[in-house]
Structure 1
Amino acid sequence: MFQEERLYKIVELLEKEKSMTTQDIVETMGVSRDTARRDIIKLAKSGKVVRTHGGITLPQAARLPECYKLRINDKVEEKKRIANVAKDLIRSKDVCYLEASTAVLYLCYVCPTDIEAYSNSLNNVSILDQRRCSVNIIGGKLNHDNKKCQS
């Protein structure tokens, strides 16, 4: 069997199995480990698969991030519980990076106020500022689309 045929069959099998080990390819395709490795490398370079430790998997489909305004109101109680646990891990005078997720936004409401905070989220910065925390804004380009709901 030619390599191109094998590669097609591997991807076809992978769509059913979701992941395959190098040994799975050896056994299914009747090839050597070296040939299976070469096939994995070629598929990974083409972007059709993602290499994992000992095998391959399909890349996750590119997903548009859900609208921030929708996510902020999703699973609020869970986010508040997480924030309350996380706040106990932050000590006075700690330097913290607070990333731009909706769960971390809830942490900004309850974290200690005597920390040195860094964030790339205008929402986080606003809340931390209202609470009189020391806030540093990490620069970059504003992502307008993450703030809008698309219909």
Structure 2
Amino acid sequence: MQPTTQGRVRKQARLLGEARRSKILDWLQEEGSARVRVLAEAFGVSEVTMRQDLEKLEADGHIVREHGGAFLKSVTQQVRSMALQHLENMEAKQRIGRAAAKLTGDGETIILDSGSTTTELAANLLGKRDMTVITNALNIALMLGAEPGFEVHMTGGHFKAPTLSLSGERSADYFKGLFAQKLFLATAALDLEAGLTYPALSDIPVKRAMIDAAQKVILVADSSKIGARSFTSLGNLELVHVLVTDEGIRDEDRAAIEAIGVEVVIA
């Protein structure tokens, strides 16, 4: 093998490692912590390779390793301050929250997924009357739970610190036998081929159960998520009836999404 070929192989391996570590960090920013064994299995690498990845992420200041796993460095302070992990593109998310809130009416039963955009939506529900809200988001429950005109129900399940939410099979089981007029669903990324994708596995059964319990599914996602892909798929875009996004969406993406029968609302 020539040196130039060796260099290309090393560069490719480095890029593959960087891409994997980026997705590992996305996972930890979603879950808060994870075991080496679970991460190695999910990413299809050896535990030795996963430990090396975690060592690099720790050296870069993102995480703290512990025996057999790792946790997000900022998670303790974040939970104490009741802050969410993903706070980028907040101006667009605020506009989306206002537009999505206009799609609700007094007396409705709605499901609110966890996330920064759905939190903005919840803030714009104040003043509604006789509304029942079902959510897996602790911060949303605290925001609306004491407000006149709201009856708030929370799922059970495993607490995920970065998203201040409850997740896993027990959270999913809560939705069995429930009916809601509308679900306001969050996503990490959406793509016409990959569909709705998320950084980790634990939310997938919860989101599927939410979809099954709702008559209408309204996806709230800023335009930076369109055309992107995350780690694991929930399903294709046909699961969604309405997409509420911002004006940053490309014309060709909007046309393609509308072509499969999804209404697009621009905030």
TM-score, normalised to structure 1, is 0.50
- For the pair shown, the structure with the greater C-alpha radius of gyration is 1
For CA contacts below 8 A with separation 6 or more, give which structure has more relative contact order: 1
**Structure with the higher helix share, 1 or 2:** 1
TM-score, normalised to structure 2, is 0.30
